[in-house]
Amino acid sequence: MSLSAPDDLLALADGILERVGRDRAEVVVVEQEEGLTRFARNQIHQNVAERSRRFRLRLMGDEQVGVAEIRGDVDDLAGRLVAAAEAARRLSPPGDVTPLPRPDAGPDGPVAYSAATAACTPEWRADQVATVAAVSAMAGLEAFGALETSLTHTAVANSLGVRRHAESTAASLVCVTRGENGWGYADRHHHDAAGIDAEAMTAEAVETCGRNQGAVPIEPGVYPVVLSPYAVADLVGHLSDLGFSALAHQEHRSFMRAGEKLMSSLVSIADDASHPGGMPFPFDDEGVSTRCVSCIEEGVCRSFVHDSATALREDVPSTGHALPMPNTFGPWARHLVVSPGESSLEELIAGCDGGLYVTRLWYVRDVHPLRTVITGMTRDGTFLIESGRLGRPVRDLRFTQSIVDALAEVSGVGRERSIELDENERAMLVPALGIGRFAFTS
């Protein structure tokens, strides 16, 4: 894969700003190449690639804002973009307009980038999937999943001098394996495709699947649980969306009460866009450098993530968590990191006798946002913990549980962490968790 050179993207952005003239404006250019090879029943059944470049112009007045976006190589792109944004701005009713950010001298790094990922080919992806299929077939199983690699160039420039650029890569391999009477799951995510060991990942899915044959029903109820990192990612993602945003706080719908201890002292969650163990990226959709924000510190609610609009209301600096502006969604934590503990997975399981080990959560939705109550299903491997070890598999269960209440009952945190994606495909660095009480309702 190869995209435009960094200077080319910034030059395109500069060209649009020149066309705008003396008005205040912001241009974001995102150029992307991605390939995804999908497989089912140990065969490749869908295999796709895409190349695109998208331009976004935000045109500012004192009281009016207009936004225009174009994806595609259209004639007179700059002219059409400016005309559309101007028409939108002119007819937008007067309102509160958050000023454009000024340059903050932050570096354009660290960034999750790998030349190996940028060079991935359809043939390479097919070979990796062939490995997955072979390992599954050897075990008498069928594999289903997807391998995706992407290269993204992002440039942000505004008329006040912000000029940011970053080149990032991502690789994800997701697999479920199917036996006669049960499934298993595993995934791997990394910026470096060479860092994904397809054989080892498949072996994990195969092993889980092997354990998950002939699941038995159990009575719903409250159980102690060990949640794998796959499951923890969903929990943490929903918790973040229910309260880490400054807008949620300002609109009185965040569960967070700053300074109050709501969770176990073992729980610390930050948004850290520079963490080397995650997928680092240096700036937000306004080109503001993304700062590390400690949201939960040893169980205590600490800080919120801001964009320039929420920051202006509180007269504080933006923390660099803006989505494309303006928007009504508010700032978004995109690099969540849960602090590691001291326990191995085996120790967590051994300390949860009589409980359940949950491989994965599925279709998690908010039920009562202020109380952080969510519901969803377990999936692809839920096991009784018997005599301190993984025991019989059980049929999938529905849970309805307050996340805050669950995290108040954390009894152990894994020392190993992995990069997982939540349902919004947001990468986060999470460990396994032992939780004293978790409610399964059917």
Partner 1 sequence: MKDIAELALDVAVSSGASYADCRVVQRGVQALSVKDGSFAAVSSFEDEGVGIRVIVDGAWGFAGVDRLDSDSLGEAARTACRIARASSRLRRQAVRLAPCPVAVGEYRTPIGRDPFEVSLEEKMDLLIRADEAMASVEGVTTHEASLEFVREHRLFASSEGSVVEQVLVQSGGGMDATATSADDVQTRSFPNSFGRHQVCAGYEAIEGLDLAGSAPRIAAEAVALLSAPPCPTGRLTLILDGTQAALQVHESCGHPTELDRVRGDEAAYAGTSFLTPDLVGRFRYGSEQVTITADATTPGGLGTYGWDDEGVEAQRTVLVDRGLFRGYMSSRETAADYGWQSSGAMRAESWNRIPLIRMTNVNLEPGQSSLEEMIASTEHGVYLQTNRSWSIDDRRLNFQFGTQNGWEIRDGRPVRLVKNALYAGRTPEFWRSCDAVAGPSEWRVWGVVNCGKGQPSQLMHVGHGAAPCRFRGVAVTAAS
Provide the minimum distance between the beta carbon of 53 and partner 1 in the complex, in angstroms, as a whole number. 6
Provide the minimum distance between the beta carbon of 438 and partner 1 in the complex, in angstroms, as a whole number. 16
Provide the minimum distance between the beta carbon of 126 and partner 1 in the complex, in angstroms, as a whole number. 4
Which of the ranges 84-92, 151-159, 284-292, 345-353 carries the binding residues for partner 1, by CB under 8 A? 84-92
Q: Which is nearer to partner 1, 73 or 315 (CB)?
A: 73
Q: Which is nearer to partner 1, 129 or 293 (CB)?
A: 129
Closest by CA position to 171, among listed 204, 198, 201, 147? 147
Those residues whose C-beta lies under 8 Å from the C-beta of residue 219, and which sit 6 or more positions away, are none
> Considering only residues 5, 15, 46, 213, which one is a binding residue for partner 1 as defined by CB under 8 A?
46
Q: Which is nearer to partner 1, 85 or 225 (CB)?
A: 85
CA 404 centroid distance within chain: 20
**Strand locations in 159-273 (E):** 163-178, 183-190, 221-227, 269-271
Which of the ranges 87-95, 107-115, 157-165, 226-234 carries the binding residues for partner 1, by CB under 8 A? 87-95
Which of the ranges 92-100, 156-164, 224-232, 289-297 carries the binding residues for partner 1, by CB under 8 A? 92-100
Can residue 321 be called a binding residue for partner 1 (CB under 8 A)?
Answer: no
Structure tokens at 379: 């999936």
Amino acid letter at 59?
A: L
| Four-residue CA torsion sign, 34, 423, 145, 116 | positive
Q: Which is nearer to partner 1, 272 or 420 (CB)?
A: 420
Q: Which is nearer to partner 1, 341 or 393 (CB)?
A: 393
**CB of 239 within 8 A of CB of 374?**
no
Can residue 145 be called a binding residue for partner 1 (CB under 8 A)?
Answer: yes
User: Going residue by residue from 421 to 440, which x/- string records binding to partner 1, judged by CB under 8 A?
Assistant: ----x---------------
Number of Cβ within 10 Å of residue 178's Cβ equals 19
**CB of 346 within 8 A of CB of 353?**
no
Percent of the chain as helix, strand, coil, to the nearest 5? 25, 40, 35
3-state secondary structure (DSSP) of residue 51: strand
**CB of 126 within 8 A of CB of 203?**
no
Q: Which is nearer to partner 1, 86 or 297 (CB)?
A: 86
Can residue 326 be called a binding residue for partner 1 (CB under 8 A)?
Answer: yes
Interatomic CA distance for residues 264 and 276, integer angstroms: 26
Q: Which of residues 357-396 bind partner 1 (CB under 8 A)?
A: 362-371, 373, 375-377, 379, 396
Can residue 313 be called a binding residue for partner 1 (CB under 8 A)?
Answer: no
Question: Angle, to 10 degrees, between the axis of helix 77-90 and the axis of helix 6-20?
Answer: 50
User: Could you give the angle at the alpha carbon of 421 between the alpha carbons of 420 and 423, nearest 5°?
Assistant: 145
Q: Which is nearer to partner 1, 118 or 174 (CB)?
A: 174
Provide the minimum distance between the beta carbon of 379 and partner 1 in the complex, in angstroms, as a whole number. 6
Rounded to a whole number of angstroms, the CA Rg of the chain reads 23
Q: Which is nearer to partner 1, 155 or 352 (CB)?
A: 155
> Considering only residues 8, 14, 23, 69, which one is a binding residue for partner 1 as defined by CB under 8 A?
69
Provide the minimum distance between the beta carbon of 215 and partner 1 in the complex, in angstroms, as a whole number. 13
Interatomic CA distance for residues 392 and 213, integer angstroms: 9
To which H or E segment does residue 14 belong? helix 6-20
**CB of 304 within 8 A of CB of 245?**
yes
> Considering only residues 13, 16, 37, 212, which one is a binding residue for partner 1 as defined by CB under 8 A?
37
Provide the minimum distance between the beta carbon of 178 and partner 1 in the complex, in angstroms, as a whole number. 7
Provide the minimum distance between the beta carbon of 272 and partner 1 in the complex, in angstroms, as a whole number. 26
Burial of 43 (0-12, 13-18, 19+ CB in 10 A): exposed
> Considering only residues 13, 39, 227, 234, which one is a binding residue for partner 1 as defined by CB under 8 A?
39
Which of the ranges 161-169, 211-219, 251-259, 340-348 carries the binding residues for partner 1, by CB under 8 A? 251-259
3-state secondary structure (DSSP) of residue 6: helix
Q: Which is nearer to partner 1, 88 or 160 (CB)?
A: 88
Q: Which of residues 155-194 bind partner 1 (CB under 8 A)?
A: 174-176, 178
- By rule CB under 8 A, what count of residues binds partner 1? 88
Q: Which of residues 189-248 bind partner 1 (CB under 8 A)?
A: none
Can residue 38 be called a binding residue for partner 1 (CB under 8 A)?
Answer: yes
Instruction: Give the pairing of strands 427-440 and 410-421.
Output: antiparallel
**Number of Cα atoms under 13 Å in the Cβ half of residue 287:** 27
Q: Which is nearer to partner 1, 50 or 386 (CB)?
A: 50
Interatomic CA distance for residues 143 and 209, integer angstroms: 11
Q: Which of residues 106-125 bind partner 1 (CB under 8 A)?
A: 121-123, 125
